[in-house]
Each structure stands twice: as structure tokens, then as C-alpha cells.
Amino acid sequence: MVGFKATDIPPTATVKFLGAGTAACIADLITFPLDTAKVRLQIQGESQGPVRATAGAQYRGVLGTILTMVRTEGPRSLYSGLVAGLQRQMSFASVRIGLYDSVKQFYTKGSEHASIGSRLLAGSTTGALAVAVAQPTDVVKVRFQAQARAGGRRYQSTVDAYKTIAREEGFGGLWKGTSPNVARNAIVNCAELVTYDLIKDALLKANLMTGSCPPFSAWVPGTW
């Protein structure tokens, strides 16, 4: 574009959408074993009585859980459900982060001066919408992460998991837990993106930084 440097051209909504999803997928690849350990710790003892669950805990702490899984199930168990996890991040983060600016502009009717209320509305909207879109992938991801402890594999592949859940539990089974997840992520998104947005504006007004930096760039290294 004539008269603009490459760094002066604001990214399009498509670039923000894809950039946010891609960055989230990279982060998920690195942190997925920790997420799997979290799920195993959360569900531990659910099929046992309270006394037995406390006395015979299989996993103890994050590191202990990871080492136990590697020893008893092999290193690949730490990445069980990764495909669904990447599908989740690509759909969830793309909407939650990548569409924040566009939704904020919608609420402000294109005005450059967005109120806190408009930002909060944008954050809660994209957070809730992201869950509505990505909930099936989250359900499948957690099912994969948890299934090894039952002593057998119920789902043979990611596609098989979607089909099995829909067939045995109904189409709504893929959206189990949506309501609390919507509430949680609407709040989390407001806290993360609105706080980031306000701090960025304050830094720009104080001339402590220059340039236009969209919220999604907080998750994309090299965009500042």
C-alpha cells in the first residue's frame, strides 16, 4: 500500500483470526502434558469411595502424575487427545482473541474511543461465542485425556470419539458442560483482553510505547 510501511498497515480480521489460533496451537503443543496431568488429577478417585480415593491415590502432584503416566502408559499418553486439543485451540482462540477487535468495533460503531463497557461486552461476547463453537472439541479432548485410567480405550480416534458420543449420548452430548464453561470464559476473556487493552492504551497515551498493537498480538511473538 503506497505511503505505508509494512508495520503501519493494521492486520486484517482474517490475519488476527488465524494468528490467534496458530499461536494458541503452538502453546498447546508445549503445555499439553501439563493439561493432561491436570485432567488426571481432577478425575482421580471419581469411581472410588472417598476413603479409598484418599488412601490409594495413583497420582501425586503434577510431576508425579507425569512420571507415573510415562512409566505405566508410555510417553505418548501425555499427548492423548492432542488432535482434539489443537482443533479446540484453532476454533476457540481464533474466536476468543482474534475477533475481539472486530466485535469491539461493532459495539462502538467504528469509533476509535471505546468505553470500558464496550470492551467488556466485546470480551464477554467473544469468550462466550468461542465456547459455543469449540465445546465439542473440548469434550472430546478431555475424554481422551481421561480414558486411559479406565483400563481400556473407548475411543479409537478423534473422529470415532465425535461419532460415538453423538450416537450414544445424543448430539447434545458434545455440548455437555457448555453453560458453566460459557460463564467462566466470558469472565476470563474480559479479565484478560480488557485489562490488556486498557494497559496498552495507557502506555500509548504516556508515550511509553509506539505503534498500534492489537490484543491478539499479546499471544503472537514478534508482532510488537
Cα distances (angstroms) measured from residue 179 to each of 84, 131, 184, 204, 211: 20, 9, 9, 37, 38
Task: Return the pLDDT at 54.
Answer: 43
Domain ranges (residues) in the chain? 114-207
**pLDDT per residue as tens, the chain (224 positions):** 445 455 557 788 889 889 999 999 999 999 999 999 999 998 887 655 444 444 445 888 899 999 999 998 899 999 999 999 999 999 999 999 999 989 999 998 877 788 899 999 999 999 999 999 999 999 999 999 888 654 567 888 999 999 999 999 999 999 999 999 999 999 999 999 999 989 988 888 887 766 555 554 444 444 33
Task: Return the pLDDT at 8.
Answer: 58
Task: Return the pLDDT at 44.
Answer: 84
Identity at 6, one-letter amino acid code: A
Task: Return the pLDDT at 153.
Answer: 73
Spatial contact of 153 and 147, defined as CB atoms under 8 Å apart = yes
Cα distances (angstroms) measured from residue 199 to each of 18, 30, 33, 38, 40: 24, 28, 32, 31, 36
Task: Return the pLDDT at 159.
Answer: 94
Q: What predicted TM-score, i.e. pTM, was given to this entire model?
A: 0.78
Question: Rounded CA gap, 197 and 156, in Å?
Answer: 43
